[in-house]
Amino acid sequence: MKTKVLDNTKILKICNRFAFQIIENCNNDNKINVIGIKEKGFEIATLVVDNLNKISKKKIILNHITLNKKNFEKEVHSDLEESNLSSNIFLVDDVLNTGKTLMYSLNHLLKFDVKSVKTLVLIDRNHKMFPVKVDFKGISLSTNIDENVKLINENKSLEAFLL
């Protein structure tokens, strides 16, 4: 049985709110780097960047990090360029479960000389097993550990379901 947690309209509103929160946290910078964790975190990051471009004249850079969730330690890739990381970085993921994905993504970012990193997640499931702090979240969702939350993209319309 699947239950819809967020429809496309609510997701778009959250991404718009994220954009304003990012601007509020980057008053003195003229460049913002948004990094999405592939696959679904990058889709959320793309929506946030679309909103940022509508409300700001700052230079917005969109990058991605790709992880192999079966072998985190060896397979982390990104399209990051050192020159872009001197700005504020906002790391975006779709669902925070244990925090492992964010930890390995943050570890990858620390290989660079970054100025600051803030984290954004669409859905925080409150099952953290790693010391990850989420700076901005769309919603908190209390679930059983054996339940799954999936973000599904059908016909360019995102929806989140509890499975």
Report the distance separating Cα 60 and Cα 160, nearest Å: 26
**What are the residue ranges spanned by the domains of the chain?**
3-162
Residue 43: the pLDDT is 96
Taking only the tens place, the pLDDT of each residue in 11-59 is 999 999 999 999 999 877 888 999 999 989 999 999 999 999 999 999 9
Taking only the tens place, the pLDDT of each residue in 95-141 is 998 898 999 899 888 888 888 899 999 999 887 888 888 999 999 99
Task: Provide mean pLDDT across the span 55-83.
Answer: 81
Check whether 70 has a pLDDT greater than 90. Answer: no
Check whether 73 has a pLDDT greater than 70. Answer: no
The CATH number of the structural domain formed by 3-162 is 3.40.50.2020
